[in-house]
Chain A
Amino acid sequence: MALEDTRTLRFFNRGPSAVARLVFFSVLSLLLLFVDARYQYLESTRQVISIIIYPFQRLTALPGEMWDGVTSFVTLQSHLVAENEQLNLQHDADAAQLKQMESVLSENAQLRALLEVKQRAEYTVQAAQIVYLERDIFKRKLFVDAGEQNGVQAGRAVADNNGVVGQVTRTYPYLSEVTLVTDKDNVVPVQVVRTGLRAAVFGSGNISELELRYQPVDVDIQVGDELVTSGMDGTYPPALPVARVIRVERDPAYPFARIACVPLAGVDRHRTLLIVSGVPTLPPRPAADDAHGTTVPGKKTSRRGTP
């Protein structure tokens, strides 16, 4: 008996037993999990801890940044001259196009005024550097170095020079979490450029693929079709490129065609991203009134997966 006691004493010489502690902390974790998954109470705690660990996180991003600095420092002069030449050429071409664009814009404004269509608000962009990439293979997320202090709000669209990259899903004082369009079940309302068909594109969890779901087998979509944001939901500004169709499988055995797309933006390539702000706020959605609405019962199911 005495031996038992000393052994117990040597094992856990202070506090409750290991099993008791296991149960206590497990229940605590489960409680936190439940609260975090269901409610938003813990966001402030998260923010406080994020400020504490922010310097460490920046420290881990340092080797990559230093490597970039070194490589840009030791770039050959001939390379720079060639690049400069190319950029000048590009600039001339762009300037010519911009002139054209200006005239088209003014013409468009005039036509819109004539037709009394509401002006599309201009949106502004804000550049932000990627601090680090996703650290959990379950998620397609990354962090950029602009946060609440820089005026970023959750829900903002994030793009690069080629198209939509994702959406800001959580903001910290100095960082923002961006969920990529390729995150599993992430939805972007889109429009097919060629036909104007509205649809929704879903993330597949795979870094280089998106799915266009809920389209009938005989839908008019071809390989190579470009998808742009439709601007329907007020989150994404209209007409930002999103994806290109790479594969269409029409199997009559299934109700829907299987359409795979590849994201146009360099979802996994850049260091600098653009956070789009100032998207026009839409008028509030009227309350759904199914019982006495004008919809005919039985014909409610829309064939298109309109967002």
Chain B
Amino acid sequence: MRQQMSMDREFLLPASRGFILASFIVAVLLEWLPWHGMALVLRPDFVGLMLLYWCTHKPHRVGIGIGWMLGIFVDVADASLFGQHALAYTVLAFGGLVLNRRVQMFSLKEQSVHVFVLLLASYGVYALVHWQVRGYVEWNYFLGSLTSTLLWAPLTLLIQTLRRPRRNPNEL
């Protein structure tokens, strides 16, 4: 019961516009680091995860529109087709919004299972578009959704620690 209360409070924590923007910028920078070879195959989708976090925790602030715009920026940076990431992130953001009410009742472990399914759908959309245009699929691309899922719990904990207000050291 006590844990439930604290989780509810976690969801009501404030998040300023600047904080959300900064978190997305950090995610994009992480994604743009010079990943190479096997690390590239296993690279988690930082932007997708961050988008999913905000869609589940602050659905009024971050939604499908913002996911789509992020996708366009990533498309340009990755030199992929216009709309490829945008479509994947649109699907992901929609999943996040649907999950929003449910995710508050689950522990982080149970959340991860839901997140895995959503990420898989988003990865699937991306691969599907690629298959339609170029005619083949790299199957180990989907490994990225696994590593992204593993990152969900640490990411959630990290952001909630950052969102928690600083305690006044003089307080009793």
Interface membership of B79, Cβ < 8 A: yes
Q: How far is the CA of A139 from the CA of B91 in the complex (A)?
A: 23
Contacts of B87 in A (CB 8 A): 26, 29-30, 33
Of the residues A12, A135, A139, contact of B77 by C-beta under 8 Å = A135
**Which segment, of A48-56, A69-77, A245-253, A291-299, faces chain B?**
A48-56
CB distance from B102 to the nearest CB of A (A): 12
Q: A4 → chain B, closest Cβ, in Å? A: 15
Q: Which residues of B contact A32 (CB under 8 A)?
A: 82-83, 86
Kindly list chain A residues whose C-beta atoms are within 8 Å of the C-beta of B129.
33
In the bound complex, CA of A64 to CA of B33 (Å): 9
Main secondary structure of the interface of A (DSSP, over half): helix
A136 to B35, CA, bound (A): 9
Report the count of interface residues on B (CB-CB < 8 A): 47
Contact of B40 among A19, A137, A205 (CB under 8 A): A137
Q: A282 near B: Cβ within 8 Å? A: no
Task: Indicate if A133 sits at the interface (CB-CB under 8 A).
Answer: yes
From B7-15, B59-67, B113-121, give the one contacting chain A.
B59-67
A57 within 8 Å of B (CB atoms): yes
Chain A proximity of B1: nearest CB distance (Å): 23
Closest to A22 in B: B94
* Contact between chains at A29 and B68 (CB < 8 Å): yes
Contact in complex: B81, A184 (CB < 8 Å)? no
B33 CB contacts on chain A under 8 angstroms: 60, 63
What's the minimum C-beta distance from A108 to chain B, rounded to whole angstroms? Answer: 41
- Please tell me if A21 contacts chain B, counting CB pairs below 8 Å: yes
Q: What residues on B are CB-neighbors of A83 within 8 Å?
A: none
Can you give 15 contacting A-B residue pairs, CB < 8 Å?
A11-B101, A18-B94, A26-B90, A32-B82, A32-B86, A33-B129, A50-B76, A53-B76, A56-B25, A60-B33, A135-B32, A138-B134, A138-B141, A139-B79, A170-B79
Name B's A-contacting residues (CB within 8 A): 25, 28-29, 31-37, 40-41, 59-60, 63-65, 67-68, 71-73, 76-84, 86-87, 90-91, 94, 97-98, 101, 129-130, 133-134, 136, 138, 140-141
